[in-house]
Structure 1
Amino acid sequence: MGAEHDAAGVRIELTRGDIAAQPDIDAVVNAANAQLLPGGGVAGALHRAAGPELAAACRPHAPIRPGECVITEGFALPSQYVIHCLGPVYGIDEPAAGLLADCYRNALLLADRQGLASIAFPAVSAGSFGYPAREAADVALATVITTAPRLASVRRVRFVLFGEESLLVHEQALAAATG
């Protein structure tokens, strides 16, 4: 486990790991594509782990727009739900920071409306969507911290990051947002 912080009664955790293997988390967030199809990166990992039922459950919800989120069952995943969020493609979807913040905020509020206690995020848009890692982390952490006071049921937000560099960038962003 990396850094932790408490924001308005919500514990924010940063860790390196596999987003598809979070048995103690109610919902994991899929860094989805607009059609909610299996793909590479986080979407591919979650769809492979969840099984073909996930793609079938996604079909009626597609397409979604940047910043939008939808929820499905988790099927074979250890988490009960998947919240599919479309982050912005950096340099194309504008305003990028606003759309990325919408993604995190909308996922948190959707989890809260479902009465969930915990949610895990990957680094949305920081992979194939080209968002610079530090800027994406700054937006993500600031949004979680400012949204925390509005949450009634969500008490734990975990960032599950793929590599050591991503973890370090998020630790720096958390320190900047809370320092």
Structure 2
Amino acid sequence: MHEYRVGGVTIELTRGDITKQTDIDAVTNAANAQLLPGGGVAGAIHRAAGPGLAEECRPFAPIRPGQCVITGGHNLPNPHVLHCLGPVYGVDEPSDELLASCYREALRIADEHEVRSVAFPAISTGAFGYPLRAATEIAMRTVLDVAPTLRSVERIRFVLFDGDALSVHTDVLAELGPGADRPS
């Protein structure tokens, strides 16, 4: 696990399964517009949470790219799930602003609900086709901009599917976060 401090917020980067983050208050679902089980992160989160999650999501659907809603965690080890609809690259425009909105809105909602820790996947980089490095730069810039304004959120973890994604996130955070202190 790689850790960085930005003001009062710790940013963590790790490779793993977002459904197994037992020490995190809210995991983020890279959702589809209908907030239904699907493939990738959405499928994994819905499978782990059980059918109650889809039932709770139903009244919130559909959501638009860049939007986020919060639900309970159901059978997940986390009390909350933040559902963000990232942009489909090359279709939903302006994709950079919509992707940044996902991270900004998730952190705003988490802070409003007094959530102390949030885990994110690499939103829009799977089936939605967003190039990994470009998406990572947007995610890191947004998190670094928002972190100093957070009142409740103390820890933001990026849970990445593979070593390549972890490496890109580590490099981008090191490049963009000159003010970030890396704990020893």
Matched, 1:169 2:168: yes
C-alpha distance in 2 between matches for 1:8 and 1:40: 36
Q: TM-score, normalised on structure 1?
A: 0.98
Matched, 1:136 2:166: no
For 1:100, give the aligned amino acid.
Answer: L
C-alpha distance in 1 between matches for 2:3 and 2:130: 24
Matched, 1:13 2:40: no
C-alpha distance in 2 between matches for 1:132 and 1:169: 11
Aligned ranges 1:78-157 → 2 under 5 Å: 78-157=77-156
SS of alignment partner, residue 20 of structure 1: helix
Q: Count how many residue pairs are aligned between Structure 1 and Structure 2.
A: 178
Corresponding residue for residue 35 of structure 2: 36
Alignment RMSD, CA only?
A: 0.6
SS of alignment partner, residue 82 of structure 1: strand
C-alpha distance in 2 between matches for 1:88 and 1:24: 28
Q: TM-score, normalised on structure 2?
A: 0.96
C-alpha distance in 1 between matches for 2:131 and 2:3: 23
Q: CA deviation at 1:104?
A: 0.2
Q: Deviations over 1:75-132 (max 9, x none)?
A: 0000110000000000011111110000000000100000010000000001000000
Q: Deviations over 1:35-90 (max 9, x none)?
A: 00000000000000000000000000000001100000000000110000000000
SS of alignment partner, residue 81 of structure 2: strand
Runs (5+) with no aligned partner, structure 1: none
Q: Deviations over 1:7-30 (max 9, x none)?
A: 121000000000001110000000
C-alpha distance in 2 between matches for 1:44 and 1:118: 22
Corresponding residue for residue 59 of structure 1: 58
Corresponding residue for residue 181 of structure 2: none
SS of alignment partner, residue 167 of structure 1: helix
Matched, 1:68 2:29: no
